[in-house]
Amino acid sequence: MTTLLDVRDLVKTFGAGEAETRVLRGLNLTMTSGELAALLGPSGSGKSTLLTILGTLMHPTSGRHTMLGVDLTTASDHALTEFRNLHIGFVFQFHNLLPDFTALENVIFPTAVREGRETGSARSRGRELLVRMGLGERIQFPTANLSGGQKQRVAVARALMNRPDLVLADEPTGNLDRASALQVMDLIGEINRDEGTTFLISTHDEKIAAQCRRQIVVGDGLVTG
Amino acid sequence: MLYALKIATRYLTASKAQTALLVFGVAIGVFIFIFMSALIGGLAAFIMARTAGDLAHVVIQAEAVDPALLPRKSKGTVLLVQETSTRATAVLKDTPAFIPLIEALPGVIGTSQQINGSGFLTRGGQVTQVSIYGLEPGKESVIVDLAGYMVEGSATLGTGDVLLGKTLAEDMDLQLGQTVRLQSSSGIEALLSISGIYETGSGGPDRRQAYVGLATARTLFRMAQGVTRVEIKLEDLYAADALAPRIRALTGLDAKSWTEQAAQLLEALNAQAQTGYILKAFALLTIIIGVASALLLSTYRRRPEIGIMRAMGAGRWFVMVVFVSQGALIGLMGGLFGAAGGYGVLLAFPARETFGPGQSGLPIDITQGAYGLAIVLTTLGAIAASILPARAAARLDPVTAIGQ
């Protein structure tokens, strides 16, 4: 197993002066390729901030963040955008699909935005992913017509579209009923097993966390377990 | 780029009513732009045709001879001295030499050699003072379109013919073919036959002018050779200022542009054009403000989606193109609809060529609608209007945007 990402002494503060809040306080974390890890911790422990920094959507205040051997700590916005598109997938709690687009159009977005157009191969890959997610009958459906569980599965398919090395999922089942939550987790487990995609899943749900092979506990801005 | 355009199109079609309203608003602005262009252009062309259109664009006038000084023969007081007019003595003698040179200049349509003066028109007991214009036969309509203004008879001036204005003919109760007596300021009389009656629509020419052949004018003003004035017509009347100095250099004579004598008309036309530009600029400004505000609202409404796109790997440039494309599409559609609507409405107005004196309504010129310019300016304006919202969208922090 090779090292996928490594963060050292990660610090993130918000605000300044008396209003300054230190969310991450020198956090260290290493993940290897192919891991299926749960990120656990109480609200305000810094889970979401960590995911945001790992997803290159935010710079840390200090510390070092590398992924695939690339130092992302001080990379430019353009470089981070490109890196994110190629290597990282996101699944959000509230699916965050583009409402005016179909399921297929949402899924192929990460590839189309890179290629500058919707290619035939992208459509083919998108269909394949949706079929795998059990949405073969909903490929051309506007996302507004899908149920919550279906939307979240579309979001998972979108996260996998560019065959990312790392998928960051922030409470992916937090807004789903138990059956839908288990279905989404089964799919994540299957993809992790079959394709070796690394998943880091932030959750409060111990049953979801139990389905992951590694549990990372964050408390007070540090990895505590 | 192509993909950004697709997303822009999808955003516009997703809110059909809002987009339709926006396009309609832009189209109204374009319609005003086109209507004002056609109206101001038509009005300017109409005024020019009715005023400068009948003017000579460049005039060569013989320099007036200084009046003779009255010698004091005795210590008594002079009560009255009768002198012949000095106007007839101011003569251009070398016209056969320089007329071909002038007519060879580029932009010159034609020249008219004239002998002009004043006199009295008499019919029975009625006498009216008139300006006499002696024109070359065959060149009667080079400067004033006499042939086009004829209401009776012909504009061709033969020996013994005279053309009179309609008002003058009515005032003196004259008919086509009747004989009248014309006496020049030199005191010479001629009996002339009315060969045509014209109506220019202007008071002076219709009431106080009489056109005769050049030979008749020579007799009336005792001018065996030469002319008093040469008038020159140009293809482009605005070229007169440039051409007059060339003619001066070519002939050594005092050639004057029409603009020297019609400065007020030119100022009025310029002021009218400026007013048109201001109105069109306001129409364009309204379009820009409308598009900018609508896209700013759209940017705010789509903040979470912008955040998602950025998270999925869309760069700031991509987001900019999505919103600028929306502006461009709105501008283009509004421009096309506005131009089509404007053309359709202008079709209902009478053509400017058929717009005559005394006719009510607007002298709109449908060919001066500036349709292409309206579409291009509107599209560019809408693009400019969308830059600010697009920049705001591109600068959104994806984390904040998604977190909404």
The stretch A135-164 carries a mean pLDDT of: 91
* pLDDT at residue B294, as a whole number: 83
Does the distance separating the beta carbons of B304 and A116 come in below 8 Å?
A: no
* pLDDT at residue B325, as a whole number: 93
**Strand pairing of A214-219 and A36-40?**
parallel
Q: Count Cβ–Cβ pairs < 8 Å, chain A vs chain B.
A: 64
Q: Is B24 helix (H, G, I), strand (E, B) or coil?
A: helix
Q: Is B29 helix (H, G, I), strand (E, B) or coil?
A: helix
Identify whether the C-beta of residue B18 lies closer than 8 Å to the C-beta of residue B11: no
**Token output for B158:** 């033969």
Please report residues of A whose CB lies closer than 8 A to that of B318: 113
* pLDDT at residue A177, as a whole number: 82
* pLDDT at residue B71, as a whole number: 62
**pLDDT exceeds cutoff 70 at B355:** no
**Strand pairing of B126-135 and B255-257?**
unpaired
How confident is the model over A24-67, as pLDDT tens digits?
999 999 999 999 999 999 888 889 899 999 999 999 999 999 99
* pLDDT at residue B356, as a whole number: 59
CA-to-CA separations, B270 to B57, B239, B273, B274, B277, in angstroms, rounded: 18, 16, 5, 6, 10
**pLDDT exceeds cutoff 50 at B404:** no
Give Dmax (Cα) for chain B: 113
CA-to-CA separations, A161 to A104, A106, A155, A157, in angstroms, rounded: 11, 10, 10, 6
Q: Let me know if B361 is exposed, middle or buried by CB neighbors in 10 A (0-12, 13-18, 19+).
A: exposed
**pLDDT exceeds cutoff 90 at A87:** yes
Quick one: CA dihedral A196, A197, A201, A205, positive or negative? negative
Partner residue facing B316 (CB), from A57, A77, A162? A77
Identify whether the C-beta of residue A184 lies closer than 8 Å to the C-beta of residue A176: yes
Residues 6+ apart with CB under 8 A from B228: B61, B62, B87, B88, B90, B91, B92, B114, B115, B116, B117, B221
Mean per-residue pLDDT of chain B: 85
* pLDDT at residue B319, as a whole number: 93
From B13, which residue of chain A is nearest by alpha-carbon distance? A100
Q: What is the CA radius of gyration of chain B?
A: 33
CATH superfamily of A33-54+74-215: P-loop containing nucleotide triphosphate hydrolases (3.40.50.300)
* pLDDT at residue B47, as a whole number: 78
**Token output for A221:** 């801005």
Domain segments of chain B: what residues? 2-51+266-402, 56-63+84-258
**pLDDT exceeds cutoff 50 at B87:** no
Please report residues of B whose CB lies closer than 8 A to that of A115: 3
How confident is the model over A103-132, as pLDDT tens digits?
999 999 999 999 999 999 999 999 999 998
- For chain A, give the percent of residues with pLDDT over 90: 62
* pLDDT at residue A79, as a whole number: 94
Partner residue facing A58 (CB), from B10, B316, B399? B399
Mean per-residue pLDDT of chain A: 91
Backbone angles phi and psi of B386, in degrees to 5: -85, -10
pLDDT, greater one: B345 or A175: B345
State the Cα–Cα distance between residues B82 and B223, nearest whole angstrom: 20
pLDDT, greater one: B359 or B333: B333
Of B24-33, B286-295, B385-394, the one with minimum mean pLDDT is B286-295
Selected residue of B19, B312, B319, B395 to mutate for chain A interface (largest A Cβ count, 10 A): B312
Please report residues of A whose CB lies closer than 8 A to that of B398: 57
* pLDDT at residue B88, as a whole number: 44
Does the distance separating the beta carbons of A85 and B312 come in below 8 Å?
A: yes
